[in-house]
A and B are shown apart, each in its own frame.
Chain A
Amino acid sequence: MKLEHMINVQEQSRADDQSDSASGQIGRDILLFFIAAAVLFALTTGVIRLQQSPNRGLPYHDGFASSDIAEWTAYGGNWKVQDGTMVNESNERGAKLVTGSAYWKDYTVEADVALRTSGDAGLIARVSDPEQGVDAYSGIYIGLRIRDEALVLGVADHDWQEAQAKTLSTPIVPNSWYHIRVELKGCQVNAIVNRQDSTELTRLDRTLDPCPLRGKIGLRSYDSGGVWKSVQVTKLDSSR
């Protein structure tokens, strides 16, 4: 009788142990579930934050040393690399070549641009939603326009709103290099152009309202081909 009682106690104790062990296992699994969720959440948000960082890929420079232009996307035009320059041989209105990150925000973009005998050519910044078409993108255009010999600044949102045009002190010389430099900070745009080997500057300072706040950069021409070289994008120091 005593022996039987002892066996019963031992079996009861073993069953209790098994029950404790099972509930402990569930607790560990729940803990592992949350740890795995937290780790993957942190990793995913980290990767996304990195991809969407306004600094990713900056500073950027393309000297067109090689003919590989895989990182550029053309929207119209006939683009090719030639002797360290990017040439658009087409006079298609609103031809664009776009590169960079859709998340770039405040930056300086600059390049040397040479125009053909008519039309406009220049740079586009904070570009999003680009398509083939005259003003088929959202962004800011800064370029030289032969028709009125002016440095032109405007905003495109699948249309065209010209913000300012400043006549250059001397007529635009076709096939000559002009250095265009554009600083974008918030909606403040500062653009400077000067002809190579000339100290004469033409400057535009304008606060746009509204303005696109982030986007890629690009080269654009209108009713003219054009030649571009030494494209550079640098992060604008936020303390400036």
Chain B
Amino acid sequence: MPSRTFYALVLGALSGFVLGALPALHPRLRPPEITFIPRTSGTLPTEAMHRGANRAAREAGFRLYWNAPTREDDVDRQIFLMSNALKSDTKGLILGPTNGLALTSKINEFVARRIPVVVVQTDTPIPSGRYITSVAPDQNEVSKLAAERVLSILDGGGEVAVVGVDRTAPETVQRSRNFIAYMSSHPTIRMVAQHSGTSFIPEAEQDAGEVLDRFPRLKVLFAVSAAATEGAKLAIQRRGLGGSVALVGCDNYLILQTDLREGRVDSAVTSDSDQMGYLAASALLDAIRGRALPPPQRIGAHLLRRDNVDAQSQVTR
């Protein structure tokens, strides 16, 4: 049997080790955390949303965890990040779904655990309720502003095409549908194409190029997303059609302001992403504090043109 001296030595050594290691081992105290997983990050609208949500989280004493896939179409990565959020004891989730339908079961896991979810950029893929709501641009207003601009460009009528309709981003479908409905009451305007699209700019350029090649008398392209707008701009530039085809786009991107100033894009319908982030985080934090989630909220849209771009510009990346 070990002697008392042995025990004294072992206990002393253990105490010394614990005392020495304690400062390095003590856990960092962190405020409670909410999670924001947009479709992607590092783009102008997502960074603005991040700022808005961060501001709301800080005001409430929460930490905002922010991460996203590096590609807007990476559903697997979004599912992975959502699974991590569930494991990390997050108090709530703000989600810009890459493909709403593909994320439905993962969203349901949050709702089943009574973790509130606020969907941004588009409507919720499942019905809104006690634990899920949305904050998104008013898609009807987006289409209306674009339609009014197209009508003013096509004073005497002409051919129009829609590009960038992506079924995994439901807002692009809504925008296209509403836009075509507005145009249908103007018999001098001919809708010649409604082309599908992706979030990948080279593919968007190819799609827009196909439309331009097929309809040589086209006067206006309406691009229903930021990627479609950038792709259509490149397709128009490469074909030297800048003087004959006007491009009306949607959503902000890194060099939209420059493109508007230099006339590569006629106009673009954008919404206040900072406000969207702030409202989404505020709604989520209210729900975490026990208040009911508000019903789906709509953010207003505005038309950016060369003559108002500097007045309405947002902070750039």
Contact = CB atoms under 8 A, between A and B. Distances in A.
Nearest to A162: B317
Given A48-B20, A48-B24, A133 B12 contact: no
Chain A interface size, under 10 / 10 to 19 / 20 to 34 / 35 or more: 35 or more
A187 interface: no
Interface in A20-51: 25, 28-30, 32-45, 48
Contacts of A33: 8-9, 11-12, 15
Nearest to B68: A133
Given A37-B15, A92-B70, A160-B317, A42 B20 contact: yes
Interface in B23-60: 23-24, 40-42, 47, 50-51, 54
Contacts of A30: 8
Interface string B7-22: 0111111111101110
A159 B50 contact: yes
B273 to A, nearest CB: 13
A158 B67 contact: yes
Contacts of B47: 159-160
A93 interface: yes
Interface in A80-137: 92-95, 131-136
B66 interface: yes
Contact of A94 (B4, B66, B70): B70
Given A39-B16, A48-B24, A32 B9 contact: yes
Interface string A59-97: 000000000000000001000000000000000111100
Contacts of A95: 70
Contact of A32 (B8, B17, B20, B50): B8
Interface string A7-21: 000000000000000
Interface of B: 4-5, 8-17, 19-21, 23-24, 40-42, 47, 50-51, 54, 65-71, 77, 255, 317
Of all A-B residue pairs in the complex, the 10 with the closest CB atoms, nearest first, are A44-B20, A36-B12, A40-B16, A134-B42, A37-B16, A33-B12, A41-B16, A29-B8, A37-B12, A33-B8
